Chains A and B, each alone.
Chain A
């Protein structure tokens, strides 16, 4: 941009007042130097280098043992068991959480109260205690019967230990505990949907069930998914607690091995590596689910996770593009 008016008036005094606007526009711009930032980077890199050097050179990590056991049958079957627990418990927890949330938002006071008490109970006690409870449920109810409640005859009656083996106890413990949290997450998601959406759907003649399924829940998903991703990753790690009731999931499997071989640290590293691998896969999955339910809210796609990561990791001049934000 040139400003001819300004330039002509400043022509005469150019010698005393330095360069004209035109000259200023042609000069090279030197970016500001961020000295402290570079010092910070150097310090962090040094610390990382020390840590990595330790990982590699400290023989007590026993990386060869880690390598030997990483893909061993016992560890892999433990991993599969962990994944099963996480997937099944989380699926039940989400389904139950939606039901509990809808009850909590119901117009019936009884349904609201029941849901509230359920959440209070299962959120208010430690998961470990609940797992132990389910494991010893047969002490409380030795048999389960199907019949008419209170006075009628029983049609079927089975031994509690047979219907609730350890795996079912673990699933029950994890799923019920988690459903209390999912209920609150789903409820927050539903409440975040604008009132006008309910009214627009109603005025099209939609019944409540259809309105929830087609209009409200898909929009609530945008709010529900990020915390649910957290909960799923949390569930993956919480599932290690079921090792206390003797279910051979990932942690329990490596414990069984190091109890025999005393290679405690390398076996724990094996478990750690697998937990991190699964968490990473879940995080990537979450990105794609979020993008699916975020449709209609953004004008452009945020790009693949890899592209996003690279952009974030290597953006040194965050404010370099004016108007690029939001």
Chain B
């Protein structure tokens, strides 16, 4: 194995008879930001969800932090991971969803502390201090006691990012984080993500924000029909795409 944070070799995923991923190969290295682009149904969200085992890989090898996802290698045999092992792997992977998925029955502060306290076993005091700090970073220090319903979409998504960061993850997954937002609220969320990238967080971002990809990403992967069509630095993939399919997609979205 190489020293990539995420490494995929021939990853396939089927839902029943429908094959959504048809052999994905890619590497994401520490501190890198990778953007996954592509039309809807191209399998980019499914691939993202395989990384923290919300979906299980049907075939191929997917490792995260050098650890096989969903299996443990013991004495030359692959044992399916126990629930505890899967959960432990997920602790190190933050995920941000298109529809925020904040816990509506908890205040913003509780949303940020429930993971560290109940899963990581941190003290409540330390978790509250860290949560306050994170909310300050995303510009919502005054919303500590608010419930998610009382916030705008953009504010909710920034809380969701802070919630994921509260677990001190080593990798952040973003599943179309701005697609459900009003256009004028997108900027705040992207600004938070840019800061995060500047701080050296390893990020895998499924997005339709070409500007973000061009400006922030270290590499861009264009997917279509369950395969990687092309990948490389943003200037190359977005500026001078080699494939007809990529060109057609880019001209449609830009």
Contacts and interface: CB of A to CB of B under 8 A. Distances in A.
B83 to A, nearest CB: 6
Nearest to B160: A200
Contacts of A208: 83
Interface stretch (A86-94, A174-182, A231-239, A291-299): A291-299
A70 B102 CA distance: 52
Interface in A192-217: 194, 196-197, 199-208, 210, 214-215
What 4 A-B pairs are tightest by C-beta distance, nearest first?
A205-B91, A200-B101, A196-B101, A296-B147
Nearest to B88: A205
Interface string B205-244: 0000000000000000000000000000000000000000
Given A196-B97, A199-B54, A296-B149, A205 B115 contact: yes
Given A218-B105, A219-B104, A299-B150, A207 B84 contact: yes
Contact of A214 (B107, B114, B167): B114
Interface of A: 194, 196-197, 199-208, 210, 214-215, 218-219, 293, 295-297, 299
Contact of A197 (B87, B103, B150): B103
Nearest to B147: A296
B142 to A, nearest CB: 17
Majority secondary structure of chain A interface residues (helix, strand, loop or mixed): helix
B186 to A, nearest CB: 20
B62 interface: no
Nearest to B84: A207
Nearest to B49: A199
Residue with the highest number of chain A CB atoms closer than 10 Å, among B89, B91, B95, B119: B119
Contacts of A299: 149-150
B143 interface: no
B90 interface: yes
A111 B222 CA distance: 44
B90 A204 contact: yes
Given A196-B101, A293-B105, A296-B147, A206 B118 contact: yes
B87 A295 contact: no
B94 interface: yes
A203 B52 contact: yes
A204 B127 CA distance: 14
B154 interface: no
19 contacts: A194-B101, A196-B97, A199-B95, A199-B101, A200-B101, A200-B160, A202-B87, A203-B54, A203-B90, A203-B93, A204-B119, A205-B119, A205-B167, A206-B119, A207-B87, A219-B104, A296-B104, A296-B105, A297-B104
B54 A202 contact: yes
B90 A297 contact: no
Contacts of B52: 202-203
A205 B148 CA distance: 21
Contacts of B97: 196, 199-200
Nearest to A209: B83
B106 interface: yes
B99 interface: yes
Contact of B118 (A194, A210, A219, A296): A210
Contacts of B148: 296
Nearest to A215: B103
A199 B147 CA distance: 20
A202 to B, nearest CB: 6
Interface in B16-55: 52, 54
